[in-house]
Amino acid sequence: MKKVLLFLSLFLFIQTKGFCQYSTPSDGHELKWVNDYIEVFRSEGGKPVKNHPKMWNHKLWFYRCIDQPEDTNYVRIVIPNNLANSGITESNEKDWENDLKEVSDCDYNKYLFVKKTDYEKNVKDHYPKYTYGLVWTGLTIPLKIHPSIDGHSGSLYNSNFNAGTFLGVRLGFLNDIVGATFGGFGGFSSLEQSASVNSAIAKGASENMAALNYGMGMIFDLDRKFQLGAVLGWDHGYGDLGKTYLYQNHNWFAVSLNFTFLDLSHPVNKQ
């Protein structure tokens, strides 16, 4: 029981952070695929070199530079590579001797230019290939299902409102549109007790019992606008009613809908 209380204390501390949700931000830009090609120009002296352009590779993503050229017809960009602390330089002229070669890894971390018209017409946000990290949430369980046990012939459907704090690890996929979170939860609720579930309650009467709810679950979300989860949990009732509660420390199952979370995910991305 001491371990359970320690587990709960951790979650109650986290719960003070509130019920809020953050979207994973885009970490750069892409250019939409087009039937024709989009020209890319190398930089020399901070200006676009307009001869021997290359073609944009639509598998790549890029950053738009904060400092833009004086020629407002062009947009300065950088294609990042996967090496930390790599400096950004201008391209080697020898890599640009032929017209309309496709942009490749030799152009990573180099100042490049695209026409502003091509940029504004085709730019879109780029999201990490997947994200991962801790999330926490206020978990709502509107319906619990208790399996049959000795003393009760069938499953009990408990529709009490059960709120607790859920802490887990979320993986986001498909431009972070789909997410899967696995973790545990803990919280307090009030369980209605009747003669059918508690031998200390007279037939026809009912009382409320304070209880600790704890367990684990898998939550799936779609674009963070719809969430559906499967939860496995336990109840521990307090006081004299807890000693005679039929489902004391017995597992239950539940479906969780529409939870919101604070997302601390990190992007994992490579060209």
State the Cα–Cα distance between residues 186 and 247, nearest whole angstrom: 17
> What digits encode the pLDDT tens for the residues 51-67?
999 999 998 999 999 88
Q: Return the pLDDT at 271.
A: 63
Q: Where are the beta strands (DSSP E) in 7-89?
A: 28-31, 39-44, 47-48, 54-55, 63-64, 74-78
Q: Tell me the domain boundaries of the chain.
A: 2-26+129-268, 28-126
Q: Return the pLDDT at 90.
A: 93
Q: Return the pLDDT at 155.
A: 66
> What digits encode the pLDDT tens for the residues 170-221?
888 877 788 899 999 888 888 889 888 888 999 989 999 999 989 999 988 8
State the Cα–Cα distance between residues 58 and 175, nearest whole angstrom: 16
Q: Return the pLDDT at 153.
A: 65
For the chain, residues with pLDDT lower than 50 are 1-2, 4-24
State the Cα–Cα distance between residues 102 and 126, nearest whole angstrom: 20
